[in-house]
Structure 1
Amino acid sequence: MEEDSDTRPIVSVAAAAARRRCRAPPFSCACPVTVEPVLFLCTFALALQGPLATQYLWERLREDLRYNGTKGGGCGNPAGPADPLQKEVEILTAHWNLYIGLGGFLVGLFVVILLGSWSDRAGRRVVLILPSLGLAVQAAVYLTVMYLKLPVAWFLVGRICSGLTGDFNAILAGCFAYVADTSNTGSRTFRVAVLEACIGLAGMFASIIGGEWQRTQGYINPFWLVLATNLAAALYAYLFVPESMTPQPEAKLFSCQHHRAVYTLFTSGGQGTQRTALWLYTLCFFLVVTVHFGSRDLYVLYELSSPLCWTSQLIGYGSAAQHLSYLSSLLGLRVLQRCLEDSWVAMVALVSNIASLVMFSLANTTALVFAGYGLGFLLMASTPVLRSKLSKLVDPSEQGALFASVACVEGLCSLVASGVFNSLYPATLHVMKGFPFLFGAILLLIPAGIIGGLGCKEQQARTRGTVVN
């Protein structure tokens, strides 16, 4: 017995040392920045890649069909029948974008849930590194297609390769779960908002750089930057991001347990009231992000066409104003949190979003469009509140499964938004050109009512002393 009692501390010390080695990266940093650069770099690469890939598809399909016209008709073109070849190029480009997006989403849907739930046991760092490498493989495939002039179907192969490693949604799940691991309930909403501000900043820089670079040097050089940026994100995560939890050596990647964990999370996790709140906040997140994606898809089309007829320079300014809302929302959230609960901060943000969409639905001058962008200065402050609310409803050991589910919902939002808003715009064009924006504003009344109702219940529960926040 004495020998067992003597060796037990030695074993525990050795095990603790092993866990510390797993948690520590090769280089440590005393600064509070952790996963923010990973999300910034991957978002920058994705935002730079997306428009360039679409333009490259258009150019290749135009060459295949031997169409020598220009991409943009412009407002000054005389009215008349559309060029059938140009219409065919546009249809083929839209179809290939749809195939590529669907292929990546359907493959990534199962992989993201697998990786997110697995990270609850195996640690977060691997879920940051693996998808970054997958995105780099996708960029390498795209470069190969451009150098060798391969059929555009190879773009789908690259997208599926990225989907097999979780794609960008796995990066989102890993980063938000990491922040949930390393923050308390009081600071979590702001930490999540900082991550979303990184998304906005990266998108703004990419939109400024991408178009001009492609115009002067073509497609290949920007895609080399996409490849390098994704590799840099993986390298940064490996070298500088400390593990936020203790990895379990027995954790298996390929196990049905991970998908069951997500199912259990939404069906039997927690108390009945918590499960109901989890579903309701997820519905709010779905509606808010769907409206955001849907309206964003229409901004450029709305600005290009009559009566606005914006030039590419004005469109660039509009894109910059749109992405600045991420920063203004972060600052606004920080200020509002000093005097309001998170639920009411989300309500103020939704009011800002609704006012912006209503203004866009009526805008027929450049001044009104920028007024719409200005009214939306808080529109991105609602999603960090919703992510934070969802995170507080589950156990610390379920954060990866939760944010993997949220990332899948976000991917679904993108598909639903494209289908609904891009179909609604031409269908209502002759009735009210801005109707899709008005439709989005009406949809946002649903999450506003849900968040307000849940916020009142939470406030009443705190008053009665039955809930400790």
Structure 2
Amino acid sequence: MALQAGVYLVVMYLKLPVVYFLVGRLLSGLSGDFNAILAGCFAYVADTSDRRSRTFRVAVLEAYTVSIRCLYSVLQCTELESLLIFTLSFRYINPFWLVLATNLASSLYAYLFVRESVPPDPSAKLLTSHHHKAVWHLYSTGGNGSEGSGGFHRCKLWLYTLCFFLVVTVHFGGRDLYVLYELSSPLCWGPALIGYGSAAQHLAYLSSLLGLKIMQYCLKDSWVALVGLASNITGLLVFSVADTTQLMFTGYGLCFLFMAATPVLRSKLSKLVDPSEQGQSVYVLTYMFKSVF
């Protein structure tokens, strides 16, 4: 991702044709892109946390991955009205310097201070189909998790994975629909209100994290997930009938726990597999997560 940002900067400073942006995307994609970061981080958290604290730690990580989006959405509130001027101005280059510096600093921190959770295997090969076969073996046999294996265990893996896919599809598949709905009649929102709505939607990640921590003191993880789903359902019902700005923001307020379900599902899946299989289950979730985007 640092290479991608570097290529983007070169293209912009030299005013090269837009097609050269593909070089940056190819370098990032061939290196794993955000998929590798997301899968590695979630697998690392699963490796280094105990079963009791895993759900909250996964929730913290999930909230952290979208914290920049929250900041970006807030900034949109003041920038969207001058989008054309902003696009043509030189300030568009400066964020890519920040992206480059952040990625380089993160890489250096990970290399120097993050202790490896899995002993390196000297016989491991870079180009191999073993990882894909391991994923298929995990979902066809049920894995070697501490909760047992066999048909029932395999069914739980598939059901949790299906639930995760459906929840994430609703969360991220409907994100752009909010903007289209807000632009159309009867709301007819302008750039400023769309920015505020996007900020409210993304701030729900942080409120979900806080609510998850509080609910874990008195509820089991499964009930926490159900509360999160109920929050999302009520918010969507309000969105479906919203014809005023006040009602639309009421829907955003009711969705304040809508992301509480996904970390629970991630945690449940990680508890169903052996520590050596954490990366395989996370790989599947990451692939599904990115496919929705």
The two structures have a TM-score, normalised by structure 1, of 0.57
Rg bigger for which structure? 1
Q: For 1:320 and 1:331, locate their aligned partners in 2 and report how far apart those are by CA, in whole Å.
A: 17
The Cα of 1:209 is off from its aligned counterpart by 4.0
- Counterpart for residue 126 of structure 2: 253
Give the Cα–Cα distance (whole angstroms) in 2 for the partners of residues 199 and 256 of structure 1.
29
What amino acid does structure 2 have at the position aligned with 1:355?
T
Residue type matched to 1:273 in 2? F
Give the letter aligned to residue 186 of structure 1: R
Equivalent residue, structure 1, for 2:103: 230
1:218 Cα deviation after fit: 3.3
- Aligned equivalent of 1:377: 256
- Partners of 2:160 and 2:284 lie apart in 1 by 13
TM-score, reference length from structure 2: 0.90
Offset of 1:341 from its aligned partner?
Answer: 1.2
> Would the aligned equivalents of 1:177 and 1:403 in 2 still touch at CA under 8 Å?
yes
- Superposed, which structure 2 residues align to 1:146-157 within 5 Å? 146-157=12-23
2:70 pairs, out of 187, 204, 207, with 204
Q: 1:412 aligns to what?
A: 291
Residue in structure 2 matching 1:187, options 53, 63, 80: 53
Structure 1 counterpart of 2:166, from 284, 287, 292: 287
Give 3-state SS (helix, strand or coil) of 2:259's partner: helix
Consecutive unaligned residues of structure 1, counting only runs of 5 or more, are 1-134, 415-469
Give the whole-Å Cα distance in 1 for the aligned partners of 2:288 and 2:38. Answer: 12
Identify the match of residue 177 of structure 1 among 31, 43, 46. 43
**SS of residue paired to 2:123:** coil
User: Residues 78-93 of structure 1: matches in 2 within 5 Å?
Assistant: none
TM-aligned CA deviation for residue 154 of structure 1: 2.4
- On the 8 A contact 1:200/1:327 being kept in 2, the answer is no
Higher RCO (CA-CA < 8 Å; seq separation 6+): 2
- Report if aligned partners of 2:235, 2:252 keep a CA contact under 8 Å in 1: yes
- Kept in 1, the 8 Å contact 2:140–2:154? The answer is yes
- 1:273 is matched with 152
Out of 201, 204, 209, the position equivalent to 1:325 is 204
Say if 1:192 and 1:387, in contact at 8 Å, map to a contact too. Answer: yes
What does 1:132-171 correspond to in 2, within 5 Å?
135-171=1-37
- Structure 2: gaps of 5 or more residues: 144-148
The one-letter code of the counterpart of 1:276 is C
Q: Which residue of 1 aligns with 2:183?
A: 304
Report if the CA contact (8 A) 1:200-1:324 is conserved: no
1:235 is displaced (CA, Å) by 1.4
Distance in 1 (CA, whole Å) between partners of 2:249 and 2:272 is 38
Deviation at 1:217, TM superposition (A): 4.2
* Contact 2:45–2:58 under 8 Å retained in 1: yes
Q: Over the residues paired in the alignment, what is the CA RMSD in angstroms?
A: 1.8
Q: How does 1:444-463 map to 2 (within 5 A)?
A: none
Q: Distance in 2 between matches of 1:222 and 1:252?
A: 37
Provide the C-alpha distance between the structure 1 equivalents of 2:40 and 2:218, rounded to a whole number of angstroms: 31
Q: CA deviation at 1:315?
A: 1.9
Offset, 1:186: 0.8
Classify the secondary structure of the residue corresponding to 2:126: coil
Displacement after TM superposition at 1:312 (Å): 2.2
